[in-house]
Amino acid sequence: MSMTETLFGGFLLAVALFLGSRRLGLSNFWAGILSGALPFIAYLAYSARQWPGGDVLAIHFVVYLATAGVLMSFGGMQRNKEKMHWAPRLIIAFFVVLVILMAGLLSISMHGLPDSLANLLLPNTNHQKLHTAFPGVVPHELNRLYEPHLRHLEQQRNLGWQVDIAGLEDLRSDVNGVVTVKVHDAQGKPVAANSVTLDLWRMANSGDDRKLQLKPAADGTYTSPIMLPDSGHWIAELHIMRGQDSFLKQQTLFISKP
C-alpha cells in the first residue's frame, strides 16, 4: 500500500472507531484513545513486514494522534452542547487542507503526476515519456565510482567494442525477465569475456540493489534471468572483463508496475 492509502485509511478507521465506540457507550476519553491507538498498532504490524522508515512511521503517528484529539474535542463539545468558536474552526480547516496538500505531494513524489496533468503543465519539446516521481538519492559511497568511470572511457574508446543490452527496458517490478548482452570487437567478431556482470542500484533504497553474473549463451552473447523487487528509478551498470581489458556501461532505468 502507498503512504497516501495508509494515512487516509487510518484516518477513516479512526473516525469509524470513535463513532462506533461512542455508540457502544464508551466515554469520550476512551473512544478517543482507541481511535488513535488501534490504527497506529495496525500500521505497526504492517510496518513489521514492510519497513517504511522512522520518518514515515512518525508521520502516521502524528496524523492518527491529531485525528483522535480532534474527535475527542468534538465529542466533548457535543456532549456539553457547546458551539465551537470560529477561530478554532478556522485552525482545524487549515490543518485539514494542509494534510490533504501534503498527501497529494507525497503521492506525486512516489508515483508522479498523472499523465494528463504532466502533459498539460510540463513542457515536453522532445515528446518523450515524462517521469515526475522523486528519483531518490544515490548512496554517498557510490559516487566514488565516478573517477574510475572517467579513466575507463579512454580505454573503452581504444577497445572499440560494440555492446548491446536487451531486456532491461521491458522489465516490470516483481515480474521475471531475461537480460541479454551481446559483445563484439572493433572488427565485428564475438568477444569471449572472462566475466560479464550487471549491477542494479535502486536509487530510493540501496537495500534493493542487485548483482547479476551473466552466463555465456552463444559466441559473444551472455544472458541472465532477472527480477527487480520494486518500481521506480534504477541505475544499471554493466562490467565486462577479458584479461586486462575491461568495459563499463551505465544507463538509467524507470521500472514501472505490472
- pTM confidence score: 0.45
The residue among 57, 84, 118 that closes a domain is: 118
Whether 177 is covered by a domain: the verdict is yes
Residue 223 has pLDDT above 80, yes or no: yes
pLDDT in tens, 157-193: 888 889 999 998 888 888 999 999 999 998 989 999 9
Instruction: Mark whether 100 and 148 lie in a shared domain.
Output: no
Instruction: Mark whether 108 and 151 lie in a shared domain.
Output: no
Instruction: Mark whether 239 and 183 lie in a shared domain.
Output: yes
Whether 222 is covered by a domain: the verdict is yes
Whether 42 is covered by a domain: the verdict is yes
DSSP output for 97-161 = HHHHHHHHHHHHHHH---HHHHHHHS--TT------S------GGGGGGHHHHHHHHHHHHHH--
Instruction: Mark whether 145 and 217 lie in a shared domain.
Output: yes
The residue among 63, 86, 118 that closes a domain is: 118
The residue among 118, 153, 172 that closes a domain is: 118
- 66 in helix, strand or coil? helix
Whether 128 is covered by a domain: the verdict is no
Instruction: Mark whether 159 and 82 lie in a shared domain.
Output: no
Instruction: Mark whether 98 and 144 lie in a shared domain.
Output: no
Instruction: Mark whether 73 and 32 lie in a shared domain.
Output: yes
Whether 232 is covered by a domain: the verdict is yes
Instruction: Mark whether 18 and 96 lie in a shared domain.
Output: yes
Rounded Cα distance between 21 and 18, Å, is 5
pLDDT in tens, 24-76: 888 888 888 898 899 889 988 888 877 777 777 888 888 888 888 878 877 77
Q: How far is CA 53 from CA 2, 44, 48, 56, 89, in A?
A: 13, 11, 11, 6, 33
Instruction: Mark whether 68 and 157 lie in a shared domain.
Output: no
Place of cell 548491446: 164
Grid coordinates of 92: 482545524
What is the domain extent for residue 7? 3-118
Residue 211, pLDDT score? 92
Whether 101 is covered by a domain: the verdict is yes
Whether 127 is covered by a domain: the verdict is no
At position 179, the amino acid (one-letter code) is V
Whether 72 is covered by a domain: the verdict is yes
Mean pLDDT of 132-140: 55
Give Cα 66 distance to the centre of its chain: 27
Instruction: Mark whether 147 and 111 lie in a shared domain.
Output: no
CATH number at 231 reads 2.60.40.10
Grid coordinates of 19: 463513532
Residue 141 has pLDDT above 70, yes or no: no
Instruction: State the pLDDT confidence band at 226, using cuts at 50, 70 and 90.
Output: very high
Instruction: Mark whether 148 and 247 lie in a shared domain.
Output: yes
Instruction: Mark whether 170 and 76 lie in a shared domain.
Output: no
Task: Please state, rounded to an integer, the average pLDDT across all residues of the chain.
Answer: 80
Number of domains into which the chain is organized: 2
